[in-house]
Amino acid sequence: MAVYTEVSDEELEEFIAGYDIGELVSFKGIAEGVENSNYLLQTDRGTFILTLYERRVDPADLPFFLGLMEHLAARGLACPTPLHGRDGAALRQLCGRPAAIVTFLTGLSPRRILPEHCGALGAAMAEMHVDGADFPMARANSLSVAGWRPLFEAARSRADTVAPGLAALIEGELAFLESNWPSGLPSGLIHADLFPDNVFFLPDRVTRAERVSGLIDFYFACTDQLAYDIAVCLNAWCFEPDASFNATKARLMLSAYRRVRPLSAAELEALPLLARGAAMRFLLTRLYDWLHTPAGAFVKRKDPLEYLRKLRFHQGIAGPGAYGIE
Amino acid sequence: MAVYTEVSDEELEEFIAGYDIGELVSFKGIAEGVENSNYLLQTDRGTFILTLYERRVDPADLPFFLGLMEHLAARGLACPTPLHGRDGAALRQLCGRPAAIVTFLTGLSPRRILPEHCGALGAAMAEMHVDGADFPMARANSLSVAGWRPLFEAARSRADTVAPGLAALIEGELAFLESNWPSGLPSGLIHADLFPDNVFFLPDRVTRAERVSGLIDFYFACTDQLAYDIAVCLNAWCFEPDASFNATKARLMLSAYRRVRPLSAAELEALPLLARGAAMRFLLTRLYDWLHTPAGAFVKRKDPLEYLRKLRFHQGIAGPGAYGIE
C-alpha cells in the first residue's frame, strides 16, 4: 500500500504535457507496491500507471529497470512498457522525484494460490528468462549471498527479541550458505521478487484456465543465476497458509518452466541450496524491516518468521525430489 | 486514503457473479475517501467502484445514501449510480460488510482551487439542491447544531492542549450558535461534505473552462436547510492556503448558485451565521479526531486550527456582503 507523494495540479498538468497521450480524465492513487507512489492515470486514449520513485529505489538503477521492461515488452512478454516523452526520455522528474509512465496491464493478483497459478507462473518465468537473455545491461544482485551479512549485522543484536535463538540460527545458516553458495549456473536477467502481488492472471475465455496476463514491479530485477528466481518462487508460491509445503504446486511450476527452458542437472541439484538462500534473503529483509519500522507506522510489517519456517523446510529435505522433480 | 478490508478471490468472484457486469479484468484498491474501503473494478464492459462500508457508516443509513445517488443520477446529475444485482438489490454484503458497486466517474479533484472551480461548483450544488427536492426519503443532519455539544464534551478536557484557550472559545461560540441558529429557511437534500476531494472537474473540450464532471461521496448527505451546504462550501473552497478569505471565489460560487436556484433574503442574511456553524462543525470533528487518533496511526489527521481561523473570519465580518454578494 503506497501513495506517498501528493502531486499538485500544475505539476501533473506539466508532466502529462511532456507525453503524447491525450487529455487527462482521471487520476487516482492506488494501493500497489510498498516502495513507490503509484497512480492510475486515464486519458481519452487509454489507461496508464504513473510511478514516482521514492527513497528505496536508487535513481542510478532506473535506466536498467526501465530499459529492461522495454526490452521484455518488445519481445512480447506481458509486462509494463515505459512511455517515452515528447523529448524521447522515458525517465523524467515529478515533484522532485524520478518518475515514469508505463502501460497499464489488466489482470488480478491471486490472493489464494491455486496449483494452476503455479504452472502458469513457471512458464511465464521461463519465458522471461529466455526473453531477457540478450538484454545488454547488467545489474548486480545486491540482495544475494554477499548482501545478507550486512543485513544480519544491522539486526543481530535484537534478533532474539523476535524469536529466541534466532541470531544463532541465522549465524549458522549464513556461514553455511557463504561457504556453499553455487556459482557457474546459467545466469542472466532475473526478476528476483516474483511474489503473487507481482503477477496478474486472467482466466482463458474458452478453457477458463488461469493464464498469466502480466508480470510487474521489476524494481529488484538484476543479473544472477536464473535458478535463483525459481528458488524465490518456490518460497513465495508453494507453501500453504499453514506453512506446509505443497509439492504439487512446485511440481507444476517446475515442469511448466522446464518445457520452456530446460534446467541442467547442476541447476536441479542446486535448487535446495538456492531455496535456502532465497528463504534467508526474505527472512533477513523482513527481520530488518520488523526491527526498524515503528509498530504504528504506515506500512504493514511482514512476519519474518514465516521465512524461518520455510528455511527450515528446505534445510530438512533430502534433495530436489522434494520439489516434485521426477 | 483507505482500503481497510482485503477481499479474497472467492469472495470477490461470488460477489461479482451477483451482477450482470461482465468478466472481471482488474481490481485495485484506491486511495479515495477516509471512511470506507474503495476498489476500482474493471470488467470487459466498463469501470466501476466497489465500496465496502466500514465502521463509521451506520448500515441503517445506506438505503438513504444509495437511494439518493440513484435519484440524483436519474435526474441527470453527474454522481455515482448504484448498480442493482441480479436479484434487484443495490446494497449487498461482502467480507461481512455492507457493500455496493457504483458507476465510475471521470474527472479530477482540484488540489489548487481556482476561481472558475468555485463558479462551476456553485452551479452544480444548486442543481443538486433542485434535483434533490423531490427525493422522498429523509435523514436528520446528526452533525448540525444539536450534534456539536456532545462532540465538544468528548474533546473539552484536552482541547487546550491543541491551542491555549480553545475550550473557552468553543464554549462561547457554541452557546451563541445554539441560541441563534436559524430555522425555517428552505430545506431539502444537502450533501453536507462538498469538499474539493468530493468534486471532479474536467476542462471543456472547446472553451477549456473547468466544468464539474462529478459529485461523489454522499455519505454525509441529509435533510437540512439548503443554505447550510453553501456555508460548508464557503469554508471548504474560498480560503487560501495562507488562511485569507478569497471574496472573488465566494462571489463566483454564490452568483453561479443563484442563477440556478435563487436565494431568499432570509437565506442571504443567514449566511454568516451558517458559515460560523459550518466552521464549528469541522473544527469539532477535526478536534475530536485529533485527540482520539494516535499520532502514528494509519489515517492522516487534519488540522483543527485551520477551522478555528475560518470561524474567526466569519465572526468578524459585518454581513453577507463580505462574501461578495451585491
Three-state secondary structure call for residue B56: coil
Q: What is the mean pLDDT of residues A92-120?
A: 96
Entry field: residues in chain A: 326
The mean pLDDT value of chain B amounts to 94
Q: What is the mean pLDDT of residues A69-78?
A: 97
Q: What is the mean pLDDT of residues A63-85?
A: 97
Dist CA A6 CA A174 (whole Å): 41
pLDDT at A205: 86
Confidence bin at B57 (pLDDT 50/70/90): confident
Q: What is the mean pLDDT of residues A177-186?
A: 98
Give the residue among A265, A124, A263 at the shortest CA–CA distance from A191.
Answer: A124
pLDDT at B79: 97
Closest residue on chain A to B112 (Cα): A9
Structure-model confidence comparison of residues B110 and A4, the more confident one: B110
Q: Is the pLDDT of residue A308 over 50?
A: yes
Within 8 A by CB and 6+ apart from A250, the residues are A118, A234, A238, A323, A324
Which residue(s) pair with B39 in the sheet?
A: B29, B50
CATH class of B115-323: alpha beta
Three-state secondary structure call for residue A210: strand
The distance of Cα A102 from the centroid of its chain, to the nearest Å, equals 17
Closest residue on chain B to A108 (Cα): B26
Identify from B30, B39, B199, B216 which residue to disrupt to test chain A contact, counting A C-beta atoms within 10 A and taking the largest count: B30
- Dump pLDDT digits (tens) for B106-165: 999 999 999 999 999 999 999 999 999 999 999 999 999 999 999 999 999 999 999 999
Comparing A47-61, A211-225, A289-303, B62-76, the range with the smallest average pLDDT is A289-303
Min CA distance, B300 vs chain A (Å)? 10
pLDDT at B295: 63
CA distances in angstroms from A163 to A104, A159, A287, B135, B284, listed in the order given: 41, 7, 10, 60, 45
What type of residue is B99? Answer: A
Q: What is the mean pLDDT of residues B39-67?
A: 94
- Dump pLDDT digits (tens) for B253-284: 999 999 999 999 999 999 999 999 999 999 99
CA distances in angstroms from B133 to A46, B129, B265, listed in the order given: 38, 6, 20
Count CB atoms within 10 A of the CB of residue A58: 14
Comparing A1-5, A134-138, B101-105, the range with the smallest average pLDDT is A1-5
pLDDT at A1: 41
Which residue(s) pair with A27 in the sheet?
A: A41
HEC-encoded secondary structure of B193-231: CCCHHHEEEEECCCCCCEEEEEECCCCCCEEEEHHHHHH
Residues of B with CB under 8 A from a CB of A: 1, 3, 6-10, 23-32, 40, 42, 106-108, 110-112, 202-203, 294-298
Min CA distance, A117 vs chain B (Å)? 13
Q: What is the mean pLDDT of residues A63-69?
A: 97
pLDDT at B55: 82
Dist CA B141 CA B224 (whole Å): 6
Query: What fold, for B9-103?
Result: Phosphorylase Kinase; domain 1 (3.30.200)
pLDDT at A263: 98
Report angle CA B308, B310, B315 to the nearest 5 degrees: 90
Q: Is the pLDDT of residue B96 over 50?
A: yes
pLDDT at B3: 60
In this structure, what C-alpha cell is assigned to residue B138?
429523509
Confidence bin at A31 (pLDDT 50/70/90): confident
Confidence bin at A276 (pLDDT 50/70/90): very high
Entry field: residues in chain B: 326
pLDDT at B302: 87
pLDDT at B187: 98
Do residue B30 and residue A40 have CB atoms under 8 angstroms apart? yes
Q: What is the mean pLDDT of residues A19-45?
A: 90
Do residue B106 and residue A32 have CB atoms under 8 angstroms apart? no
Q: To the nearest whole percent, how much of chain B has pLDDT over 70?
A: 96
pLDDT at A326: 73
Comparing A50-54, A224-228, B293-297, the range with the smallest average pLDDT is B293-297
pLDDT at A3: 60
Confidence bin at B1 (pLDDT 50/70/90): very low
Q: What is the mean pLDDT of residues A188-207?
A: 95
Pick B32's closest partner by Cβ from A7, A28, A297.
A28
Domain boundaries, chain B: 9-103, 115-323
Do residue B298 and residue A298 have CB atoms under 8 angstroms apart? yes
Comparing A26-40, B155-169, B238-252, the range with the smallest average pLDDT is A26-40
Residues of A with CB under 8 A from a CB of B: 1, 3, 6-10, 23-32, 40, 42, 106-108, 110-112, 202-203, 294-298
pLDDT at B6: 84
DSSP A219: T
Radius of gyration of chain B (CA): 20
Chain B partners within 8 Å of A24 (Cβ): 108
- Dump pLDDT digits (tens) for A141-156: 999 999 999 999 999 9
- Dump pLDDT digits (tens) for B14-38: 999 999 999 999 999 998 766 789 9
